[in-house]
Structure 1
Amino acid sequence: MAFDIDDDLPDRESARQFYQKYEPKEVIGKGLSSVVRKCVEKATGKEYACKIIEFNDDSQEERDATLREIQILKLVGDHPNIIDIVASFETPNYVFIVMELCPNGELFDYLTKVVHLSEKRTRQIMSSILHAVDHLHSHHVVHRDLKPENILMDANMNVKITDLGFAVQVSENEALYDLFGTPGYMAPELLQCSQYEGMPGYGLPVDLWACGVILFTLLSGLPPFWHRKQHLMFRMIMDGQYTMTGSEWDDVSETAKDLIHHLLVVDPAERYTAAQALQHPFFNVERTRRRDFMAKRTLKAHIILIWSIHRLRTLHYRPQPIRGKELLENPYRFKSYRKMIDSTAFLLYGHWIKKDEHQNQNRATLFQTEEKYDVVRHEQLLEQRRVRREQSQPLRLQHQNEIREEQSPPP
């Protein structure tokens, strides 16, 4: 029975044990027959996620599957990349599973925002997923529904595998034949069991096939197998038909592609295990420090590099260096000195040079070569000349009279 998000919470009297310890809050997720709410532990105030599953009287199989999920979570929940179960409560109509809260949501939502991830980030996420899968397989647990929607991200963006509703614990050589999982992430041997008689079944390797699909999707932003007709998509999966030839693969290393090839192998016997995948060169990136590394020299080189880049970027706005010899030969060649010379010439000669048709002429040659007279000094000189003229006029008249007397005839 579907649990509506808008439905009221379960009756407090029937779920007294849960309500004594936890206070339910807003809805943060929904499944086919369950709803996930944020809840707060009353004693500590710590926040958790509570999965509330509702059952009818005729849904004993669903109840058994939920109780099996709780047992598996308690079995494998001591791993940093698997969701940790805190407590569980059971009533006649409901089961409450209290788990750690992952506030950053699903890996699927994160991938939807960024489209695809860098190899560095993909390496971190896939390493965590494969370590979690290796932990599951060490307890002979097959997840059977690994996909980005079932991988949560905690407050520190660490991934946590969740939703072990399809998970099952198998014995050493036990084979499974039931059809469980999400179509795009199903392994070829799982599909073959549902379509053909006499197939050998499937086991732990189906989770590694799903890991290969997730790795492919994280690096490219696209699923390796997709067709609008599901039976054609199943045929592509069983034949292992996928390509890595788009523009989205131009920057992906051959090492990453090689790991995908070893995970998306049709034959489960040849497919990598989780332990083998973690030993692949994709995860063994050398980060050794150079022996001749010198921090001071490296810092100096980076400072010079940054200074040079800044100098090149601002070269157009900065004056060029001026040589003294060039300045003496042609000062008007440099704009800053040309302005300084013009300003000095104006102060010296009292006027600007008029612009005319001789645009290319050296303007310095148009100036007078003598200094201007000071106005006050010039008036003083004129006054001295007038005084001398007045003083010399009586003498000049006397001299003229004497000349006339000498020239006149005697009586």
Structure 2
Amino acid sequence: MLSKLLRQILGRGLASTVRKCVEKGTGQVFAVKIVDVSTERQSQNEAERLLNETISEVNLLRQLADHPSIISIHDFYQAPTFLFAVFEMAPRGELFELLNKSVTVSEKKARRLMRQLFDGVAFMHEKLIVHRDLKLENILCIDEERIIISDFGFATQLKPGQRLTELLGTPGYLAPEILRCQMYEDTDGYGLEVDDWALGVILYTLLAGYAPFYNRRQLIMLRMIQEAKYDLHSEQWSHITDEAKDLIKNIFVVDVSKRFNALQCLQHPWMVGVSKEIAAEAVKKRDFRRIWRRSIHLARFFIRLTNIKNLKVLVDRDLLKQRPFRDREIRHLSEAAVFSVYGHWVNRGYYYSRDLLFANRPRPRYQNPEVQMVAA
């Protein structure tokens, strides 16, 4: 650890701290996660659990090394009372923060982001590794185009045919089969498919700006997840293409045998961006006069497009009072203003939802993610 110089704090957890660090030899910047495994502030069992979870996370990441959509681990050090895991640095922070600034993203950008996530999850699933906590906060931005999957604390590697039953994850991203494990004893458990469901939640949130399954009454929210009840018909979805909606419908399927996995999502028409190519007519004879006319018409066309884009459209005041969110631009401006002013109020902890900005009652807080959820 002497080869690295620790700098400012990037984040804190219950028993860990993430700091920026610089490698002295190369000057390369990394993020180091420092985990306290001493027994001064925690019991022996808790210290051993943290030790085992951190070592398991490091081992899983080493199996996933060199994939561009998964955070890479640079080094790992183990001391008697602390663990040091050195990770790739993500200068742009969380995808959560990016979405808080822009509220929604365009379909083109959402497609670029989701292609990386689907590709990374497909690579994980090939090795039978399930993440179990995919969410906006655990997606980090390297730059404007590249994102990576991080935080493999809940991840585990399955044996062939193995099913899980533990309640782990974030409620808004939980798949129906995880909830069934907590309600019924005769369930088959869950597997890799829970990550595909969580990716659907991320895609929905990127396009709409809010979570697909949220209600201030937690029991209703859990019922919405179990029945896959979500909205694709509100005004926020009026400008979204049918192909994007179709992909979401194929992900939010309660029956895991019919739910799209990451590979199937990559092959979906919305992800592939298939469009009919119009074959250019072969030019038998060069007619420079015709080419010149077409160039003039094309230039005029682009000038008109620019003028239309910059044209200020007047909005009827009475109509605006009755339906203020009917106009897409006004809706986006108002939502962006809300999140820029009150976005810091959103708790990015275990029970997170962007819709909480519009809730008028506090949520229950649970310290242990293994505790079963109770209706508010």
**Alpha-carbon spacing, 1:22–1:293, altered in 2? closer, same or farther (3 Å):** farther
Matches within 5 A, 1:103-182: 103-182=91-170
Name stretches of at least 5 consecutive residues in structure 2 with no aligned partner.
284-290, 309-376
Task: State the percentage of identical aligned residues.
Answer: 39
* Structure 2 CA distance for aligned equivalents of residues 119 and 310 of structure 1: 21
* Structure 2 CA distance for aligned equivalents of residues 296 and 119 of structure 1: 35
Matches within 5 A, 1:365-376: none
Contact 1:102 1:153 in 2 (8 A): yes
Amino acid aligned to 2:27:
G
Question: Are 1:46 and 2:35 matched, yes or no?
Answer: no
Q: Name the structure 2 match of 1:34.
A: 16
Question: Are 1:55 and 2:37 matched, yes or no?
Answer: yes
Q: Which has the higher contact order (CA 8 A, sep 6+)?
A: 2
Q: Secondary structure at the match of 2:296?
A: helix
Q: TM-score, normalised by structure 1?
A: 0.68
Instruction: Give 1 or 2 for the bigger CA radius of gyration.
Output: 1
Shift of 1:310: 10
**Alpha-carbon spacing, 1:67–1:246, altered in 2? closer, same or farther (3 Å):** same
Q: Name the structure 2 match of 1:291.
A: 280
Q: Deviations over 1:253-308 (max 9, x none)?
A: 11100100110111111101111111111112136575249997664323234677
* Structure 2 CA distance for aligned equivalents of residues 203 and 77 of structure 1: 22
* Structure 1 CA distance for aligned equivalents of residues 84 and 16 of structure 2: 10
* Structure 2 CA distance for aligned equivalents of residues 186 and 70 of structure 1: 24
**Alpha-carbon spacing, 1:156–1:177, altered in 2? closer, same or farther (3 Å):** same
Shift of 1:124: 0.5
Shift of 1:311: 11
Q: When the two structures are aligned, how many residues end up with a matched partner?
A: 294
* Structure 2 CA distance for aligned equivalents of residues 105 and 173 of structure 1: 36
Question: Are 1:209 and 2:192 matched, yes or no?
Answer: no
Question: Are 1:270 and 2:258 matched, yes or no?
Answer: yes
Amino acid aligned to 2:239:
D
* Structure 1 CA distance for aligned equivalents of residues 205 and 31 of structure 2: 28
Shift of 1:215: 0.7
Contact 1:104 1:157 in 2 (8 A): no
Matches within 5 A, 1:302-317: 302-305=298-301
**Alpha-carbon spacing, 1:244–1:306, altered in 2? closer, same or farther (3 Å):** closer
Q: Secondary structure at the match of 2:5?
A: strand
Shift of 1:309: 8.6
Q: 2:86 aligns with which of 98, 110, 129?
A: 98
Q: Name the structure 2 match of 1:192.
A: 180
* Structure 2 CA distance for aligned equivalents of residues 261 and 306 of structure 1: 37
Amino acid aligned to 1:291:
A
Shift of 1:156: 4.5
Contact 2:71 2:87 in 1 (8 A): yes
Q: Deviations over 1:216-235 (max 9, x none)?
A: 10100010100112222111
Shift of 1:35: 1.3
Q: Name the structure 1 match of 2:328.
A: none
Q: Name the structure 2 match of 1:15.
A: none
Q: Deviations over 1:121-150 (max 9, x none)?
A: 010011100000000000100000000100
* Structure 2 CA distance for aligned equivalents of residues 96 and 66 of structure 1: 9
Q: Deviations over 1:145-192 (max 9, x none)?
A: 000100000034311000000000001100001111001000000111
Amino acid aligned to 2:280:
R
Matches within 5 A, 1:75-94: 75-94=63-82
Amino acid aligned to 2:49:
E
**Alpha-carbon spacing, 1:308–1:284, altered in 2? closer, same or farther (3 Å):** closer
* Structure 1 CA distance for aligned equivalents of residues 140 and 102 of structure 2: 16
Shift of 1:34: 1.3
Q: 1:246 aligns with which of 229, 234, 256?
A: 234
Greater share of helix residues, 1 or 2?
A: 1
* Structure 2 CA distance for aligned equivalents of residues 159 and 298 of structure 1: 42
**Alpha-carbon spacing, 1:307–1:254, altered in 2? closer, same or farther (3 Å):** closer
* Structure 2 CA distance for aligned equivalents of residues 23 and 298 of structure 1: 62
Q: TM-score, normalised by structure 2?
A: 0.74
* Structure 2 CA distance for aligned equivalents of residues 272 and 39 of structure 1: 40
Q: Secondary structure at the match of 1:136?
A: helix
* Structure 1 CA distance for aligned equivalents of residues 84 and 156 of structure 2: 20
Name stretches of at least 5 consecutive residues in structure 1 with no aligned partner.
1-17, 313-411
**Alpha-carbon spacing, 1:176–1:309, altered in 2? closer, same or farther (3 Å):** closer
Q: Secondary structure at the match of 1:300?
A: helix
Q: Secondary structure at the match of 1:175?
A: coil
Q: 2:59 aligns with which of 48, 57, 71?
A: 71
**Alpha-carbon spacing, 1:270–1:93, altered in 2? closer, same or farther (3 Å):** same
Greater shift, 153-162 or 40-49, is seen at 153-162
**Alpha-carbon spacing, 1:293–1:77, altered in 2? closer, same or farther (3 Å):** farther
Q: Name the structure 2 match of 1:383.
A: none
Q: Secondary structure at the match of 1:210?
A: helix
Q: Name the structure 2 match of 1:368.
A: none
* Structure 2 CA distance for aligned equivalents of residues 53 and 216 of structure 1: 34
Amino acid aligned to 1:67:
I
* Structure 2 CA distance for aligned equivalents of residues 277 and 39 of structure 1: 37
Q: Deviations over 1:17-55 (max 9, x none)?
A: x1x110000011222321111100000011111111112
